[in-house]
Amino acid sequence: MTEMHNQESILSDGAVFFIFGATGDLARRKLFPAIYSLYREGKLGERFAVVGLARRPRTNDEFRVDVRTSIDEFCRYDVKDNGEWERFAEHFEYKPLDINNVDGFRELNVQTEEIERKFDVPGNRLFYMALAPELFGSVSHNLRDGGMLDTEGWTRLVIEKPFGYDLESAERLNEQLSSVFKEEQIYRIDHYLGKEMVQNIEVIRFANAFFEPLWNNKHIANIQISLSETVGVEERGGYYDHAGALRDMAQNHMLQMLTMIAMEPPSRLHPEDIRDEKVKVLRSLRQYHTAEEVHEHVIRGQYAAGAMKGKALPGYREEEKVNPASVTETYFAARVFVDNFRWAGVPFYIRTGKRLPVKTTEVVVEFKSMPSNVYLGRKHKLEPNLLVIRVNPMEGIYVRINGKKPGAEGGIQPLAMDFCQSCMIGINTPEAYERLIFDAARGDSTYFTRWDEVAAAWSFVDKIAEAWRESNDDLHQYPAGSWGPQAANELLEQDGYRWWPVNGQEEDTVVWK
């Protein structure tokens, strides 16, 4: 927990939240339900307002109906019929806005000052860009030129990924934003950093005496990070065909989880000290300098036609809005090294893909095996100990050890201690967007990405993308519904390891709950 997280758990001074792209899918599925959950839990109080902004015309009443529909469909709380909804909906207003017309921003500023007087908000303004990245710059400049940043309170900008397409485009985007906002005002959101078990990684590591002393190359054989999806590209074919798994998942979610696992203990429990340690990990990543090194350590694949649960599935090139000759990867796996004293020589295996058999996100820490030529190792095959951190969809921790089989035979079998956090909390586990919106409003930047983090991640990823542009010979096809290309298995087999089963459990493992 950081110092910021120990603050009063209510937005005491209040704020006005501006949602650009308020009629879009992100606002409907995530943002409105998150704001309602924060309200239900008493974290917003009554000193707040939400202004929805988009091109299409809407009245306030029509907008509030849209918000109610969103909450009924996607929120973890049911709306109470005791007048609460009316009190909540009163905080929502809508304004049609042409984001290229600065006069519209001047009108918005007048409207905002009226809203702030109505709800006793002292000029605190949070701008949430649920927009395409190419619009961030022009919106930021018009916020400034339209007087929206001339306030006695604080102003903060929350932006969604992707933050650029490569390092060069990310630098251009950052220059545009930096000409208006200071770095400490910019909150680059990666919703994976808002997930309960990702945030729990630092607690598991730094609050348990039997993990942290072993968290190094003397005791850990390898670490595996898996992010698998059962869905294909759905209606995102146009976007995905220009992004691919490398940019859509690896550059942000995968590398962010890697930094949480590999970072050093921060000197203080302060957001900037924590982010400093994450940047050090990214700077310590062993770069791929040649195309040959990329081909040796990185696997890319694309799903072909297949089947899942008896249902036939099309191949990626057959999906809507996808180029029939596309070489975009839907699967990415890599062997990564963090070249510092703690992790020297320990391979980190990361993989992500679409149309895989199970939807899950988890981290597997495989500890070094006991010696095979002494004592019990001479008579038994001893499996390695595992620590599995389950991030999504089930949340929890799984620890695997070796123990004696019941009976007189003296056999040894894997035993698992399984803590299911989702089973304990159930459907009311807070969503990632709830935490991150609340953190941004409180000024807690711990779980947002800083510019030097973004730049370091792009610097690593760009070398891979550059090698792929030279040749498509290493694009592996895999059937939809399978676990990806065989080459990804061979990546680990070269080192004497294997991918551990997703969800951590094997048939011969006895589970203690």
How many angstroms separate the Cα of 226 from the Cα of each of 51, 352, 391, 429? 38, 6, 10, 22
Can 242 be counted among the known catalytic residues? no
Domain that includes residue 125, residue range: 4-160
| Long-range pairs for 497-502: beta carbons < 8 A, 24 or more residues apart | 497/221, 497/222, 497/347, 497/349, 497/366, 499/224, 499/226, 499/349, 499/351, 500/224, 500/364, 500/366, 500/386, 500/388, 502/226, 502/228, 502/358, 502/360, 502/362
Query: Once rounded to an integer, what is the mean pLDDT over residues 265-280?
Result: 90
Residue 165 lies in a domain: no
Instruction: State the sign of the Cα–Cα–Cα–Cα dihedral 130, 135, 140, 143.
Output: negative
Same domain, 124 and 208: no
CA 504 – CA 428 distance, rounded (Å): 24
Task: Give yes or no: residues 334 and 280 share one domain.
Answer: yes
Buried b (16+ CB within 10 A) or exposed e, 43-68: bbeebbbbbbbbeeebeeeebbebbb
At residue 277, the pLDDT reads: 94
> Could you tell me if 98 and 150 lie in one domain?
yes
- Mean pLDDT calculated for residue range 136-163: 95
Backbone CA torsion sign across 318, 248, 137, 462: negative
Is the preceding omega at residue 162 within 30 degrees of 0, hence cis? yes
Averaged pLDDT, 344-355? 97
- Residue 379: which pLDDT band, with cuts at 50, 70 and 90? low
CA 338 – CA 346 distance, rounded (Å): 8
Average pLDDT over residues 281-287: 97
Residues 133 and 252 in one domain: no
Assess if residue 127 is contained within a domain: yes
CA distance linking residue 18 with residue 214, whole number of Å: 46
22-47 pLDDT, tens digit each: 999 999 999 999 999 999 999 999 99
Residues 152 and 204 in one domain: no
Domain assignment present for 179? no
Q: What is the C-alpha to C-alpha distance for residues 77 and 41, in angstroms, rounded to an integer?
A: 10
d(CA 513, CA 26): 37
**Cis peptide bond upstream of 57, omega within 30:** no
**Assigned domain for 176 exists:** no
Strand, coil or helix: what is 379? helix
Q: Say how many domains are in the chain.
A: 2
Residue 351 lies inside a defined structural domain of this protein: yes
107: left (phi over 0), alpha (psi -120 to 50) or beta: alpha
| Kind of pairing between the strands at 306-308 and 311-313 | antiparallel
pLDDT tens for each residue of 388-403:
999 888 888 889 988 8
From 5, 253, 289, 380, the catalytic residue: 253
Q: Are residues 123 and 267 in the same domain?
A: no
Instruction: Determine, yes or no, domain membership for 173.
Output: no
- Domain of 465, CATH number, reads 3.30.360.10
Lowest-confidence pick of 132-136, 233-237, 277-281, 353-357: 233-237
Burial 435-469 (b: 16+ CB within 10 A, else e): bbbbbbbbebbbbbbbbebbbbbbbbbbbbbebbe
Q: Give the chain's mean pLDDT.
A: 89
Residue 3 confidence (pLDDT):
37
- Domain boundary residue among 160, 182, 207? 160
Q: What's the rounded Cα separation, in Å, for the pair 350 and 361?
A: 11
pTM (2 d.p.): 0.90
- Residues 459-477 have pLDDT tens digits of 999 999 999 998 888 999 9
Q: In terms of domains, do 287 and 411 share one?
A: yes
Q: Which pLDDT score, from 0 to 100, does residue 244 have?
A: 93
Q: Which residue reads 């590591």 in tokens?
A: 205
Do 257 and 150 fall into the same domain? no
Q: Tell me if 177 is assigned to some domain.
A: no
362 and 253 Cβ atoms separated by less than 8 Å = no
Q: Domain of 95: which CATH number?
A: 3.40.50.720
DSSP string, 188-202: E--GGGGSHHHHHHH
Do 205 and 86 lie in a common domain?
A: no
Query: Is residue 351 located within the same domain as residue 468?
Result: yes
Q: Are residues 213 and 110 in the same domain?
A: no
Q: In terms of residues, how long is the chain?
A: 513
Two structure tokens written together for 20: 């650009």
Residues 200 and 142 in one domain: no
